Structure 1
Protein backbone atom coordinates (compact mmCIF):
# COMPACT_ATOMS: atom_id res chain seq x y z
CA UNK A 1 0.00 0.00 0.00
CA UNK A 2 2.82 2.41 0.86
CA UNK A 3 4.39 1.79 -2.56
CA UNK A 4 1.06 2.64 -4.22
CA UNK A 5 0.90 5.85 -2.19
CA UNK A 6 4.45 6.77 -3.19
CA UNK A 7 3.63 6.20 -6.85
CA UNK A 8 0.49 8.33 -6.58
CA UNK A 9 2.52 11.06 -4.86
CA UNK A 10 5.03 10.99 -7.73
CA UNK A 11 2.30 11.19 -10.37
CA UNK A 12 0.73 14.22 -8.67
CA UNK A 13 4.08 16.04 -8.49
CA UNK A 14 5.35 15.60 -12.05
CA UNK A 15 4.15 17.08 -15.34
CA UNK A 16 0.74 15.93 -16.53
CA UNK A 17 0.57 13.52 -19.44
CA UNK A 18 -1.89 15.69 -21.34
CA UNK A 19 -5.30 15.08 -22.88
CA UNK A 20 -4.16 13.16 -25.97
CA UNK A 21 -2.17 10.61 -23.96
CA UNK A 22 -4.91 10.28 -21.34
CA UNK A 23 -7.43 9.52 -24.09
CA UNK A 24 -5.02 7.07 -25.75
CA UNK A 25 -4.51 5.30 -22.42
CA UNK A 26 -8.26 5.08 -21.84
CA UNK A 27 -8.87 3.81 -25.38
CA UNK A 28 -6.23 1.11 -24.93
CA UNK A 29 -7.76 -0.09 -21.65
CA UNK A 30 -11.16 -0.37 -23.28
CA UNK A 31 -10.17 -1.89 -26.62
CA UNK A 32 -6.82 -3.69 -26.36
CA UNK A 33 -5.99 -7.05 -24.85
CA UNK A 34 -2.87 -6.08 -22.84
CA UNK A 35 -3.14 -2.38 -21.98
CA UNK A 36 -0.61 -2.65 -19.14
CA UNK A 37 2.07 -2.82 -21.86
CA UNK A 38 1.65 0.94 -22.34
CA UNK A 39 4.64 2.92 -21.03
CA UNK A 40 2.32 5.04 -18.88
CA UNK A 41 2.48 8.44 -17.23
CA UNK A 42 5.73 8.20 -15.23
CA UNK A 43 7.76 6.35 -17.84
CA UNK A 44 6.38 8.60 -20.55
CA UNK A 45 7.58 11.72 -18.71
CA UNK A 46 10.97 10.04 -18.24
CA UNK A 47 11.27 9.36 -21.97
CA UNK A 48 10.39 12.97 -22.71
CA UNK A 49 13.02 14.14 -20.20
CA UNK A 50 15.70 11.90 -21.72
CA UNK A 51 14.99 13.54 -25.08
CA UNK A 52 15.22 17.00 -23.49
CA UNK A 53 18.65 16.08 -22.09
CA UNK A 54 20.11 14.19 -25.07
CA UNK A 55 18.47 16.37 -27.77
CA UNK A 56 18.45 13.54 -30.32
CA UNK A 57 18.00 14.30 -34.00
CA UNK A 58 17.39 10.66 -34.99
CA UNK A 59 15.40 8.32 -32.74
CA UNK A 60 14.55 4.64 -33.19
CA UNK A 61 11.79 2.91 -31.24
CA UNK A 62 11.53 -0.88 -31.48
CA UNK A 63 7.99 -1.80 -30.46
CA UNK A 64 5.38 0.91 -31.04
CA UNK A 65 2.38 -0.87 -29.50
CA UNK A 66 -0.09 2.05 -29.04
CA UNK A 67 2.42 4.87 -29.80
CA UNK A 68 2.13 6.21 -26.23
CA UNK A 69 5.91 6.15 -25.77
CA UNK A 70 6.38 7.37 -29.35
CA UNK A 71 4.41 10.52 -28.62
CA UNK A 72 6.35 11.09 -25.39
CA UNK A 73 9.64 10.85 -27.30
CA UNK A 74 8.26 13.28 -29.89
CA UNK A 75 7.28 15.75 -27.16
CA UNK A 76 10.84 15.93 -25.86
CA UNK A 77 12.64 15.90 -29.19
CA UNK A 78 13.52 18.99 -31.22
CA UNK A 79 11.22 20.22 -33.99
CA UNK A 80 13.53 18.81 -36.67
CA UNK A 81 13.87 15.37 -35.02
CA UNK A 82 13.04 12.21 -36.93
CA UNK A 83 11.48 9.27 -35.09
CA UNK A 84 11.37 5.83 -36.68
CA UNK A 85 9.09 3.43 -34.81
CA UNK A 86 8.59 -0.24 -35.69
CA UNK A 87 5.55 -2.37 -34.82
CA UNK A 88 5.30 -6.02 -35.85
CA UNK A 89 1.53 -6.35 -35.25
CA UNK A 90 -0.25 -4.95 -38.30
CA UNK A 91 -3.59 -5.18 -36.48
CA UNK A 92 -2.47 -2.25 -34.30
CA UNK A 93 -1.86 0.08 -37.24
CA UNK A 94 -5.36 1.60 -37.24
CA UNK A 95 -5.22 2.22 -33.47
CA UNK A 96 -1.77 3.81 -33.76
CA UNK A 97 -2.65 6.05 -36.68
CA UNK A 98 -5.93 7.16 -35.07
CA UNK A 99 -3.99 8.75 -32.22
CA UNK A 100 -0.96 9.91 -34.21
CA UNK A 101 -3.25 11.83 -36.55
CA UNK A 102 -4.54 13.82 -33.56
CA UNK A 103 -1.07 14.96 -32.57
CA UNK A 104 0.60 18.13 -33.81
CA UNK A 105 3.88 16.16 -33.57
CA UNK A 106 2.87 13.52 -36.14
CA UNK A 107 5.19 14.85 -38.87
CA UNK A 108 8.22 13.82 -36.79
CA UNK A 109 7.07 10.20 -36.64
CA UNK A 110 7.62 7.50 -39.28
CA UNK A 111 5.74 4.27 -38.58
CA UNK A 112 7.11 1.00 -39.97
CA UNK A 113 4.90 -2.10 -39.80
CA UNK A 114 6.78 -5.40 -39.86
CA UNK A 115 9.60 -7.40 -38.28
CA UNK A 116 12.17 -5.10 -36.67
CA UNK A 117 14.98 -7.54 -37.44
CA UNK A 118 14.26 -7.10 -41.15
CA UNK A 119 13.39 -3.38 -41.03
CA UNK A 120 16.27 -2.00 -38.94
CA UNK A 121 18.96 -2.63 -41.60
CA UNK A 122 16.85 -0.74 -44.18
CA UNK A 123 16.70 2.52 -42.15
CA UNK A 124 19.60 4.69 -43.27
CA UNK A 125 20.28 6.63 -40.07
CA UNK A 126 22.83 6.93 -37.31
CA UNK A 127 20.69 7.18 -34.22
CA UNK A 128 21.19 9.39 -31.18
CA UNK A 129 18.63 7.54 -29.06
CA UNK A 130 17.11 4.05 -29.30
CA UNK A 131 14.22 2.74 -27.20
CA UNK A 132 13.86 -1.06 -27.15
CA UNK A 133 10.44 -2.30 -26.00
CA UNK A 134 9.48 -5.22 -28.22
CA UNK A 135 9.72 -9.04 -28.21
CA UNK A 136 11.85 -9.95 -25.20
CA UNK A 137 13.07 -13.10 -26.96
CA UNK A 138 14.97 -10.92 -29.43
CA UNK A 139 16.52 -8.20 -27.24
CA UNK A 140 20.06 -9.49 -27.91
CA UNK A 141 19.42 -9.51 -31.65
CA UNK A 142 17.95 -6.00 -31.58
CA UNK A 143 20.96 -4.76 -29.63
CA UNK A 144 23.45 -6.31 -32.05
CA UNK A 145 21.55 -4.88 -35.03
CA UNK A 146 21.37 -1.33 -33.74
CA UNK A 147 24.74 -1.01 -32.03
CA UNK A 148 26.72 0.16 -35.07
CA UNK A 149 23.80 2.43 -36.01
CA UNK A 150 24.09 4.39 -32.73
CA UNK A 151 26.58 7.25 -32.54
CA UNK A 152 29.27 7.37 -29.88
CA UNK A 153 27.71 9.19 -26.94
CA UNK A 154 24.27 7.96 -27.98
CA UNK A 155 21.73 6.54 -25.53
CA UNK A 156 20.02 3.14 -25.75
CA UNK A 157 17.08 2.53 -23.41
CA UNK A 158 15.74 -0.98 -22.85
CA UNK A 159 12.39 -1.57 -21.14
CA UNK A 160 11.20 -4.52 -19.01
CA UNK A 161 14.70 -5.56 -17.98
CA UNK A 162 13.58 -6.75 -14.53
CA UNK A 163 10.60 -8.60 -16.04
CA UNK A 164 8.35 -8.71 -12.96
CA UNK A 165 11.27 -10.03 -10.92
CA UNK A 166 11.51 -13.16 -13.06
CA UNK A 167 15.17 -12.32 -13.80
CA UNK A 168 15.92 -13.70 -10.30
CA UNK A 169 14.37 -17.08 -11.09
CA UNK A 170 15.42 -20.13 -13.06
CA UNK A 171 12.97 -19.99 -15.96
CA UNK A 172 11.11 -22.93 -17.43
CA UNK A 173 12.76 -23.96 -20.73
CA UNK A 174 9.62 -22.83 -22.60
CA UNK A 175 9.68 -19.33 -21.04
CA UNK A 176 11.63 -17.78 -23.90
CA UNK A 177 10.84 -14.19 -22.87
CA UNK A 178 12.43 -14.50 -19.43
CA UNK A 179 15.36 -16.38 -20.97
CA UNK A 180 15.73 -13.58 -23.52
CA UNK A 181 15.77 -10.82 -20.89
CA UNK A 182 18.27 -12.70 -18.72
CA UNK A 183 20.54 -13.26 -21.72
CA UNK A 184 20.31 -9.57 -22.63
CA UNK A 185 21.18 -8.43 -19.10
CA UNK A 186 24.08 -10.89 -18.90
CA UNK A 187 25.38 -9.74 -22.29
CA UNK A 188 25.23 -6.08 -21.26
CA UNK A 189 27.09 -6.78 -18.04
CA UNK A 190 30.07 -7.98 -20.07
CA UNK A 191 29.92 -5.30 -22.79
CA UNK A 192 32.74 -2.84 -22.10
CA UNK A 193 31.78 -0.70 -25.11
CA UNK A 194 29.03 0.86 -23.02
CA UNK A 195 28.19 2.22 -19.58
CA UNK A 196 24.89 0.99 -18.17
CA UNK A 197 22.56 1.27 -15.20
CA UNK A 198 19.23 -0.44 -14.43
CA UNK A 199 16.54 1.80 -12.95
CA UNK A 200 14.01 -0.14 -10.80
CA UNK A 201 11.10 1.80 -12.33
CA UNK A 202 7.95 -0.17 -13.18
CA UNK A 203 9.33 -3.31 -14.84
CA UNK A 204 12.97 -2.19 -15.05
CA UNK A 205 14.47 0.40 -17.39
CA UNK A 206 18.11 0.03 -18.47
CA UNK A 207 20.06 3.09 -19.65
CA UNK A 208 22.98 2.26 -21.92
CA UNK A 209 25.48 4.96 -22.96
CA UNK A 210 27.71 4.11 -25.93
CA UNK A 211 31.32 5.08 -25.29
Structure 2
Protein backbone atom coordinates (compact mmCIF):
# COMPACT_ATOMS: atom_id res chain seq x y z
CA UNK A 1 0.00 0.00 0.00
CA UNK A 2 2.95 2.34 0.55
CA UNK A 3 3.59 2.32 -3.20
CA UNK A 4 0.25 3.92 -4.07
CA UNK A 5 1.12 7.61 -3.53
CA UNK A 6 4.29 7.13 -5.59
CA UNK A 7 2.32 5.44 -8.38
CA UNK A 8 -0.23 8.25 -8.39
CA UNK A 9 2.53 10.87 -8.54
CA UNK A 10 4.18 8.97 -11.41
CA UNK A 11 0.85 8.79 -13.26
CA UNK A 12 0.32 12.53 -12.84
CA UNK A 13 3.82 13.29 -14.10
CA UNK A 14 3.23 11.43 -17.35
CA UNK A 15 -0.37 12.59 -17.90
CA UNK A 16 -1.03 15.71 -19.96
CA UNK A 17 -1.40 18.69 -17.66
CA UNK A 18 -4.71 20.13 -16.54
CA UNK A 19 -5.87 23.12 -18.50
CA UNK A 20 -5.44 26.42 -16.62
CA UNK A 21 -9.21 26.52 -16.10
CA UNK A 22 -9.38 23.01 -14.62
CA UNK A 23 -6.36 23.75 -12.45
CA UNK A 24 -8.15 26.84 -11.13
CA UNK A 25 -11.36 24.87 -10.48
CA UNK A 26 -9.35 22.15 -8.74
CA UNK A 27 -7.71 24.72 -6.46
CA UNK A 28 -10.93 26.61 -5.74
CA UNK A 29 -12.74 23.38 -4.88
CA UNK A 30 -10.02 22.40 -2.40
CA UNK A 31 -9.95 25.86 -0.85
CA UNK A 32 -13.67 26.62 -0.60
CA UNK A 33 -15.84 23.51 -0.91
CA UNK A 34 -16.51 20.69 1.53
CA UNK A 35 -15.28 17.18 0.69
CA UNK A 36 -12.83 18.16 -2.08
CA UNK A 37 -11.77 14.52 -2.46
CA UNK A 38 -15.01 14.13 -4.45
CA UNK A 39 -13.42 16.04 -7.34
CA UNK A 40 -12.30 13.80 -10.21
CA UNK A 41 -8.95 15.57 -10.42
CA UNK A 42 -6.08 15.55 -12.87
CA UNK A 43 -5.56 11.92 -13.97
CA UNK A 44 -9.17 10.77 -13.77
CA UNK A 45 -10.34 13.97 -15.43
CA UNK A 46 -7.99 13.41 -18.34
CA UNK A 47 -9.19 9.81 -18.60
CA UNK A 48 -12.81 10.98 -18.82
CA UNK A 49 -11.82 13.49 -21.47
CA UNK A 50 -10.00 10.80 -23.47
CA UNK A 51 -13.01 8.46 -23.31
CA UNK A 52 -15.26 11.25 -24.54
CA UNK A 53 -12.91 12.04 -27.42
CA UNK A 54 -12.74 8.35 -28.37
CA UNK A 55 -16.51 7.80 -28.31
CA UNK A 56 -17.61 11.22 -29.65
CA UNK A 57 -20.96 10.76 -27.85
CA UNK A 58 -23.92 12.91 -28.86
CA UNK A 59 -25.62 12.52 -25.49
CA UNK A 60 -23.95 12.14 -22.10
CA UNK A 61 -25.61 11.73 -18.70
CA UNK A 62 -23.72 12.52 -15.52
CA UNK A 63 -25.10 11.68 -12.08
CA UNK A 64 -23.26 13.85 -9.56
CA UNK A 65 -21.99 17.22 -10.80
CA UNK A 66 -20.22 18.42 -7.63
CA UNK A 67 -18.24 21.50 -8.79
CA UNK A 68 -18.38 20.65 -12.50
CA UNK A 69 -14.83 19.38 -13.11
CA UNK A 70 -15.84 16.02 -14.59
CA UNK A 71 -18.63 17.60 -16.66
CA UNK A 72 -16.13 19.91 -18.34
CA UNK A 73 -13.82 16.96 -19.04
CA UNK A 74 -16.63 14.86 -20.51
CA UNK A 75 -17.98 17.76 -22.59
CA UNK A 76 -14.64 18.07 -24.38
CA UNK A 77 -15.46 15.18 -26.72
CA UNK A 78 -19.00 16.21 -27.63
CA UNK A 79 -19.66 16.94 -31.31
CA UNK A 80 -21.23 20.26 -32.36
CA UNK A 81 -24.76 18.98 -31.71
CA UNK A 82 -23.82 17.13 -28.52
CA UNK A 83 -25.38 17.67 -25.09
CA UNK A 84 -24.36 16.64 -21.59
CA UNK A 85 -27.05 16.44 -18.91
CA UNK A 86 -25.59 16.62 -15.41
CA UNK A 87 -27.59 16.18 -12.21
CA UNK A 88 -26.78 17.18 -8.63
CA UNK A 89 -28.85 17.60 -5.50
CA UNK A 90 -26.73 20.42 -4.05
CA UNK A 91 -28.13 23.72 -5.30
CA UNK A 92 -25.48 25.66 -3.36
CA UNK A 93 -22.85 24.68 -5.95
CA UNK A 94 -24.94 25.59 -8.99
CA UNK A 95 -23.55 29.13 -9.36
CA UNK A 96 -19.95 27.91 -9.14
CA UNK A 97 -20.62 25.23 -11.75
CA UNK A 98 -22.21 27.65 -14.21
CA UNK A 99 -19.32 30.07 -13.75
CA UNK A 100 -16.84 27.41 -14.88
CA UNK A 101 -19.11 26.02 -17.58
CA UNK A 102 -19.23 29.49 -19.13
CA UNK A 103 -15.47 29.90 -18.86
CA UNK A 104 -14.89 26.48 -20.46
CA UNK A 105 -16.79 27.38 -23.63
CA UNK A 106 -19.11 24.38 -23.18
CA UNK A 107 -22.00 26.17 -21.45
CA UNK A 108 -24.28 25.72 -24.47
CA UNK A 109 -23.65 21.96 -24.37
CA UNK A 110 -24.02 21.37 -20.63
CA UNK A 111 -27.50 21.28 -19.11
CA UNK A 112 -27.39 21.23 -15.31
CA UNK A 113 -30.33 19.87 -13.33
CA UNK A 114 -30.82 20.32 -9.60
CA UNK A 115 -32.76 17.56 -7.85
CA UNK A 116 -32.76 13.89 -6.96
CA UNK A 117 -30.93 11.91 -9.62
CA UNK A 118 -33.58 9.19 -9.96
CA UNK A 119 -36.39 11.71 -10.44
CA UNK A 120 -34.56 13.97 -12.89
CA UNK A 121 -33.18 11.06 -14.88
CA UNK A 122 -36.59 9.52 -15.51
CA UNK A 123 -37.90 12.88 -16.76
CA UNK A 124 -35.26 13.15 -19.49
CA UNK A 125 -36.49 12.05 -22.92
CA UNK A 126 -33.08 11.08 -24.27
CA UNK A 127 -31.06 8.05 -25.33
CA UNK A 128 -27.52 8.27 -24.02
CA UNK A 129 -24.24 7.12 -25.51
CA UNK A 130 -22.24 7.55 -22.30
CA UNK A 131 -23.24 7.69 -18.63
CA UNK A 132 -21.00 8.68 -15.72
CA UNK A 133 -22.30 7.62 -12.29
CA UNK A 134 -20.69 9.48 -9.42
CA UNK A 135 -23.60 10.14 -7.06
CA UNK A 136 -24.58 8.63 -3.69
CA UNK A 137 -23.12 5.16 -3.49
CA UNK A 138 -26.19 3.50 -1.97
CA UNK A 139 -28.11 4.51 -5.10
CA UNK A 140 -25.82 2.94 -7.72
CA UNK A 141 -27.83 -0.28 -8.09
CA UNK A 142 -31.05 1.71 -8.58
CA UNK A 143 -29.42 4.18 -10.98
CA UNK A 144 -28.04 1.30 -13.05
CA UNK A 145 -31.55 -0.15 -13.46
CA UNK A 146 -33.06 3.23 -14.31
CA UNK A 147 -30.43 4.23 -16.84
CA UNK A 148 -30.23 0.91 -18.68
CA UNK A 149 -33.23 1.54 -20.93
CA UNK A 150 -31.93 5.05 -21.64
CA UNK A 151 -28.55 3.72 -22.79
CA UNK A 152 -28.26 2.85 -26.45
CA UNK A 153 -26.97 -0.62 -27.42
CA UNK A 154 -23.20 -0.37 -27.54
CA UNK A 155 -23.26 2.54 -25.10
CA UNK A 156 -21.04 2.82 -22.06
CA UNK A 157 -21.41 3.45 -18.33
CA UNK A 158 -18.54 4.67 -16.16
CA UNK A 159 -19.18 4.09 -12.45
CA UNK A 160 -16.82 5.90 -10.07
CA UNK A 161 -15.49 5.00 -6.60
CA UNK A 162 -16.02 1.25 -6.89
CA UNK A 163 -12.87 0.60 -4.80
CA UNK A 164 -14.11 3.04 -2.16
CA UNK A 165 -10.77 4.00 -0.61
CA UNK A 166 -9.72 0.35 -0.55
CA UNK A 167 -12.46 -0.59 1.92
CA UNK A 168 -13.89 -3.15 -0.54
CA UNK A 169 -10.74 -5.24 0.07
CA UNK A 170 -11.23 -5.39 3.82
CA UNK A 171 -13.03 -8.24 5.63
CA UNK A 172 -16.80 -7.80 5.42
CA UNK A 173 -17.14 -7.01 9.12
CA UNK A 174 -14.72 -4.09 8.67
CA UNK A 175 -16.40 -2.61 5.58
CA UNK A 176 -18.53 0.52 5.86
CA UNK A 177 -21.96 0.81 4.29
CA UNK A 178 -20.57 2.66 1.24
CA UNK A 179 -18.04 -0.06 0.49
CA UNK A 180 -20.72 -2.72 0.85
CA UNK A 181 -22.90 -0.74 -1.57
CA UNK A 182 -20.06 -0.72 -4.11
CA UNK A 183 -19.64 -4.48 -3.81
CA UNK A 184 -23.38 -5.02 -4.29
CA UNK A 185 -23.23 -2.84 -7.39
CA UNK A 186 -20.23 -4.66 -8.87
CA UNK A 187 -21.86 -8.03 -8.15
CA UNK A 188 -25.04 -6.89 -9.91
CA UNK A 189 -23.15 -5.84 -13.03
CA UNK A 190 -21.09 -9.04 -13.00
CA UNK A 191 -24.29 -11.09 -12.98
CA UNK A 192 -25.90 -9.09 -15.80
CA UNK A 193 -25.43 -10.99 -19.07
CA UNK A 194 -26.60 -7.91 -21.00
CA UNK A 195 -23.34 -6.18 -20.09
CA UNK A 196 -19.60 -6.66 -20.20
CA UNK A 197 -17.28 -4.76 -17.93
CA UNK A 198 -13.73 -4.09 -16.79
CA UNK A 199 -12.73 -2.63 -13.42
CA UNK A 200 -10.05 0.02 -13.81
CA UNK A 201 -7.82 0.92 -10.88
CA UNK A 202 -7.69 4.61 -11.78
CA UNK A 203 -7.90 6.81 -8.67
CA UNK A 204 -10.69 5.29 -6.51
CA UNK A 205 -11.69 2.68 -9.08
CA UNK A 206 -13.89 3.02 -12.19
CA UNK A 207 -16.10 0.23 -13.49
CA UNK A 208 -16.35 0.57 -17.28
CA UNK A 209 -19.51 -1.15 -18.57
CA UNK A 210 -20.64 -1.72 -22.15
CA UNK A 211 -24.23 -2.49 -23.07
CA UNK A 212 -24.08 -5.41 -25.48
Secondary structure, counterpart of 2:104 in structure 1: coil
CA distance in 2, matches of 1:95, 1:205: 26
CA distance in 2, matches of 1:95, 1:79: 24
Could you say which residue in structure 1 is the equivalent of 2:156? 155
CA distance in 1, matches of 2:134, 2:110: 17
Moved over 6 A (4+): none
By how many angstroms is 1:2 displaced? 4.6
Secondary structure, counterpart of 2:93 in structure 1: helix
Could you say which residue in structure 1 is the equivalent of 2:83? 82
CA distance in 2, matches of 1:172, 1:118: 33
Could you say which residue in structure 1 is the equivalent of 2:58? 57
Could you say which residue in structure 2 is the equivalent of 1:13? 14
By how many angstroms is 1:171 displaced? 4.9
1:171/1:73 CA distance change after superposition, 3 Å: farther
For residues 69-127 of structure 1, give each alpha carbon's deviation from its aligned partner in whole angstroms, at most 9, with x where no partner exists.
00000112222210000001111112212211212111110000000110111111000
Secondary structure, counterpart of 1:118 in structure 2: helix
Structure 2 gap segments, 5+ residues each = none
* Equivalent residues of 2:57, 2:77 under 8 A apart: no
Could you say which residue in structure 1 is the equivalent of 2:67? 66
What is the RMSD computed on CA atoms of the aligned residues?
A: 1.5
1:170 aligns with 2:172: yes
CA distance in 2, matches of 1:48, 1:193: 26
By how many angstroms is 1:172 displaced? 6.6
Could you say which residue in structure 2 is the equivalent of 1:123? 124
CA distance in 1, matches of 2:136, 2:107: 25
Secondary structure, counterpart of 1:76 in structure 2: coil
Secondary structure, counterpart of 1:107 in structure 2: coil
CA distance in 2, matches of 1:152, 1:34: 35
CA distance in 2, matches of 1:96, 1:48: 18
* TM-score, scaled to structure 1: 0.94
Could you say which residue in structure 2 is the equivalent of 1:28? 29
For residues 159-207 of structure 1, give each alpha carbon's deviation from its aligned partner in whole angstroms, at most 9, with x where no partner exists.
000111211331579x432222121011111011000010111111000
* Equivalent residues of 1:48, 1:77 under 8 A apart: no
Could you say which residue in structure 1 is the equivalent of 2:104? 103
Could you say which residue in structure 2 is the equivalent of 1:182? 183
Structure 1 gap segments, 5+ residues each = none
Give the total of aligned pairs.
210
1:115/1:33 CA distance change after superposition, 3 Å: same
CA distance in 2, matches of 1:7, 1:177: 23
